Structure 1
Amino acid sequence: MALVPYDETALWGMQKLHKSSSTYCFANHTIQITQNWKQLGVAAVVWDAAVVLCSFLEMGGIDLQGRLVIELGAGTGLLGIVAALLGAHVTITDRKAALELLELNVQANLPADLQPRATVKELTWGQGLASFSAGGYDFILGADIVYLEETFADLLLTLDHLCSDHTVILLSCRLRYERDQNFLKMLKEHFSVHEVHYDPSNDVHIFKAQRNDLKEDL
């Protein structure tokens, strides 16, 4: 969500992020994502957390067919595109500056008959929430959106608005810093939180959160 470049001296081994495009295969589709690091920084490249969550969704343990999904901090849109290909009706959101690239990727990678399943919409966390259905989503998805401490309160406010008792939040992230653990503690004050998947090759965790500790399967 934040258009803030990381310190490039810390980007050892991340040359792939500076490529103009990256290609993936999910849901029996080849997906080619346009990237633009120089213009938009972290919002315009595909991070491992998004790829891991896409793989998790593709495993089939979650039925997205016909479900209402919203993605927060979508960046390039890979995750939302995959959710749409898996049958969901997806609202794919990010800040205004990221929307042009996001829309480009969605239009380029969803077949014409699936285009109506995906809506690209501006969302700055904590702002303009009345334009989004309160508690109106089955799933909320977020990949690598937990990294700026100053956004945590607004992110929690946004999650609270979008959630009903049945909504499932799936957050995919690396736990890089103490502040990431702090966000999980904040999240647990409002939701029941469980780790549902860990990818050791990418050091990526997927957490499931719900308002109540409901026992049904995803």
Structure 2
Amino acid sequence: MALVPYVENSLPALSKLHNSSAQFRFANHDLSLAQDWKKLGVAAVVWDAAVVMCMYLELGKVELKGKEAIELGAGTGLVGIVAVLLGAKVTITDREPALDFLSANVKANLPPESQGSVVVSELSWGEGLERYPAGGFDLVLGADIIYLEDTFVPLLQTLEHLCSDDTVVLLACKIRYKRDTDFLSMMRQQFGVEEVYYDKQRDIHIYKALKLPLKSDL
């Protein structure tokens, strides 16, 4: 979600982030995602959490066909693109500066027959939520979106708005700092949260969340 300034980094582990594109094969499709770290920073590179989320979606443990899904902080759009290819109708969102880049990736990687199943839309967490149907999604997806403390409260407000009692939230993330577990603790006040997948090689966790039922006053 955050846009950060470009900093040249010679570490081999980060060199892939500076490539102009990243190639993948998901849902029987070859995908080529443009990347532009210099222009958009973290919003315009494919992070491991997105790759692991796509791997998890391919496992078929979450029903996608015909489902209404929304991706938050989509960046390059990889997760939303794969969800569309697996049969979902997806609203792919990010902040306004990333939208042209995101839209180009979506258009370039979805076949014509799938273009009608996707919408690219601006969403800054906690703002303008009335533009999105309350509880209107079957699935909410987020890959590597819980790393900035300033966004935790608006992100939870956004999840609360988008989710019905039956909405499944899937978050893929690397637990880097105490603040990451702090977010999960905050989320557990409103959602039932469980870890459903762990990629040891990439150190990525996937958490599944469902809204907790409202407590009765009786």
Q: Which TM class, normalised by the smaller chain length?
A: over 0.9
Q: Which residue of 1 aligns with 2:175?
A: 175
Q: Which residue of 2 aligns with 1:99?
A: 99
Residue deviations 1:57-84 (CA, integer Å, cap 9, x gap): 0011222000000000000000000000
Q: Does 1:109 align with 2:89?
A: no
SS of the residue aligned with 2:80? helix
1:88 aligns with 88
Matches within 5 A, 1:44-55: 44-55=44-55
Q: Within 1, Cα distance between the matches of 2:77 and 2:129?
A: 20
Map 1:136-151 → 2, pairs under 5 A = 136-151=136-151
Which residue in the other structure is 1:202 paired with?
202
Shift of 1:46: 0.1
**% identity of equivalent residues:** 59
Q: Name the SS for the 2:98 alignment partner.
A: helix
Aligned residue pairs: how many? 213
Alignment partners' CA distance in 2, 1:9 and 1:19:
12
State the partner residue of 1:166: 166
The answer (yes or no) to whether the contact 1:35–1:44 under 8 Å persists in 2 is yes
**Equivalent residue runs for 1:10-89 within 5 Å:** 13-89=13-89
Cα gap change, 1:203 to 1:5, in 2 (>3 Å): farther
- Which letter maps to 1:15? S
Partner of 1:157: 157
State the match for 1:216 in structure 2: none
Aligned match of 2:216: none
* CA offsets 1:93-122 (integer angstroms, 9 cap, x no match): 000000011000000000001001010000
SS at the partner of 1:13? helix
Q: CA RMSD in A?
A: 1.4
Which secondary structure does the structure 2 equivalent of 1:100 belong to? helix
- SS at 1:166 equivalent: strand
Distance 1:2 1:14 in 2: 18
Give ranges in structure 2 of 5+ residues lacking alignment.
Answer: 214-218
Q: TM-score, normalised by structure 1?
A: 0.95
Counterparts of 1:76 and 1:53 in 2: how far apart (Å)?
14
- 8 Å CA contact retained: 1:6, 1:42: no
* 2:188 counterpart residue number: 188
What do residues 11-57 of structure 1 show as CA deviations (whole Å, max 9, x unaligned)?
65110000000000000000000000000000000000000000000
Question: Which SS does the other structure have where 2:165 is aligned?
Answer: coil
Higher strand share: 2
- State the TM-score, normalizing by the size of structure 2: 0.95
